[in-house]
Chain A
């Protein structure tokens, strides 16, 4: 068999992927530019060390999945990327996370501005108790966008981008709580997109959805990854395998502190993980 003439992307930092001998053509499409560079990130809640010394590169315009058993610190790490841990009393974050060369954990960072660049979608769809239109227009208005036609434009663009426009275009002035769970989650994605972020964090975005709605979100994520950097926390390994380009596996030890065990190309991690603990977890032998 003749190897395909393709160039695999460079090995991600802190990864130990075992690349298959014949790199798949699809791998060439995966971005290797780094959008978020985490170095030595640790998070404490009071005295408890929740995650310890995590370093990884989140690649630009790619989907990075964070997987691991409950309590391994996946969501804690995700929240580091837009400083959501700042909202938790007694939470303390150490280390650096660089975005465009700037440490977003720095004290002088405007957190509101940061969250405009790094949007978040949560586990349970959480539309505001207002109309569909106002949900999407909420962020732009907060950031000073005025003018009906400009807002109309943003709302339509964001809803189209979230693959929801055709389903709600005739009921933009209806309450957002009246649409289905899957639609609500896509509305939340549209709301995040409306402020033009470059990174979207998703914390178990499909865990409250049925399989059809889940597949719609997954298709949407794949589509969005052409323009946005996506980091998703998921318990669903098949979902991580299906949608992500890179996967990080975290695990908490007996000290209940989460650590990054392995990070690499999803293709490699799910076919030939380099760490025994990753192998055991993804083959269902513990966790």
Chain B
């Protein structure tokens, strides 16, 4: 016996997760581009688009709940649905962090950046890359890749350390710029949290594949 209807629903939801993943990744990238180029209208677009990401999350959640109620999945099927529920939630929160970066750009107003983004851009690229690969691991049911991606969170943490200390030094050097420099610290913190959420996604992928709930990489922040 096959469960064609169930498999179809599962494929649909998996596609939805991928769509939502690209939406979140795009939001992260655009929020940093907007900050780098001080493009207020792009930041406004990131903020406005967050509504669509929230809506997608509720759509996925609703489909999951219906499928659990109507198809009564067990074992690996149940674990996939639980993973989808968690992943959708994490993606939605990631997009909230991107929206936060968008609002930071608005708060900067007409002021220029206190210094070039430097490693902050690198953090955004790395976090986006981790997110993309985590969703590939999800589709391919690849627990080993998920584990490796979790380990890469250390790279982001080190970048965050470096950015944080450099910006604190900058505050000491130019106290008048404290407000604007603080905005950059917030930005890097948002990116650090985004990478933590990728780690959470990877933990769910490992659970989905192996049935083991593990905490892989505890963030230092």
- Are A285 and B214 in contact (CB-based, < 8 A)? no
Q: Which of B78, B210, B211, B214 has the most CB of A within 10 A?
A: B211
B215 on the A face (CB < 8 A): yes
Task: Give residues 242-287 of A contacting B (CB, 8 Å).
Answer: 268, 270-273, 278-279, 282-287
- Are B3 and A284 in contact (CB-based, < 8 A)? yes
Q: Which of B74, B77, B213 has the most CB of A within 10 A?
A: B74
Residues of chain B lying within 8 A (CB to CB) of residue A273: 75
Min CB distance, B78 to chain A, in Å? 7
Min CB distance, A125 to chain B, in Å? 27
| Of A14-22, A152-160, A201-209, A215-223, the one touching chain B | A14-22
- Are A283 and B1 in contact (CB-based, < 8 A)? no
Task: Give residues 201-221 of B contacting A (CB, 8 Å).
Answer: 210-215
The A interface, classified by DSSP as helix, strand, loop or mixed, is loop
B73 on the A face (CB < 8 A): yes
Min CB distance, B123 to chain A, in Å? 25
Residues of A within 8 A of B (CB): 1, 18, 20-22, 237-238, 241, 268, 270-273, 278-279, 282-287
Q: Can you spell out 28 A-B residue pairs with CB atoms less than 8 angstroms apart?
A: A18-B211, A18-B212, A20-B211, A20-B213, A21-B212, A238-B72, A241-B74, A268-B211, A270-B75, A270-B78, A272-B76, A272-B79, A272-B210, A272-B212, A273-B75, A278-B75, A279-B76, A282-B74, A282-B75, A283-B3, A283-B74, A283-B76, A284-B1, A284-B6, A284-B74, A285-B1, A285-B3, A286-B1
A251 to B166: give the CA distance in the assembly, Å.
65
A282 to B2: give the CA distance in the assembly, Å.
12
The B interface, classified by DSSP as helix, strand, loop or mixed, is loop
- Are A271 and B75 in contact (CB-based, < 8 A)? yes
Residues of chain A lying within 8 A (CB to CB) of residue B211: 18, 20, 268, 271-272
Given A20-B213, A272-B211, 6 more A-B residue pairs with CB atoms under 8 Å apart are: A18-B211, A21-B212, A272-B75, A282-B75, A283-B3, A287-B1
With A237-B74, A271-B78 as given contacts, are A22 and B1 in contact (CB-CB < 8 Å)? no
Task: Give residues 42-94 of B contacting A (CB, 8 Å).
Answer: 72-79
Residues of chain A lying within 8 A (CB to CB) of residue B78: 270-271
Residues of chain B lying within 8 A (CB to CB) of residue A278: 75
| Contact residue among B77, B210, B215 (Cβ-Cβ distance under 8 Å from A283) | B77
A73 to B210: give the CA distance in the assembly, Å.
30
Q: Which of A1, A21, A241 has the most CB of B within 10 A?
A: A21
A237 to B75: give the CA distance in the assembly, Å.
12
Q: Which of A18, A273, A284 has the most CB of B within 10 A?
A: A284
Residues of chain A lying within 8 A (CB to CB) of residue B72: 238
Residues of chain A lying within 8 A (CB to CB) of residue B73: 283
Min CB distance, A130 to chain B, in Å? 41
Min CB distance, A65 to chain B, in Å? 13
Residues of chain A lying within 8 A (CB to CB) of residue B212: 18, 20-21, 272
Minimum CB distance partner of A1 in chain B: B215
A271 to B211: give the CA distance in the assembly, Å.
7
Minimum CB distance partner of B78 in chain A: A271
Residues of chain B lying within 8 A (CB to CB) of residue A268: 211
Min CB distance, B179 to chain A, in Å? 36
Residues of chain A lying within 8 A (CB to CB) of residue B77: 283
| Contact residue among A22, A279, A282, A287 (Cβ-Cβ distance under 8 Å from B213) | A22
Q: Which of B1, B6, B73, B79 has the most CB of A within 10 A?
A: B1
Minimum CB distance partner of A269 in chain B: B75
A104 to B186: give the CA distance in the assembly, Å.
72
Min CB distance, A247 to chain B, in Å? 11
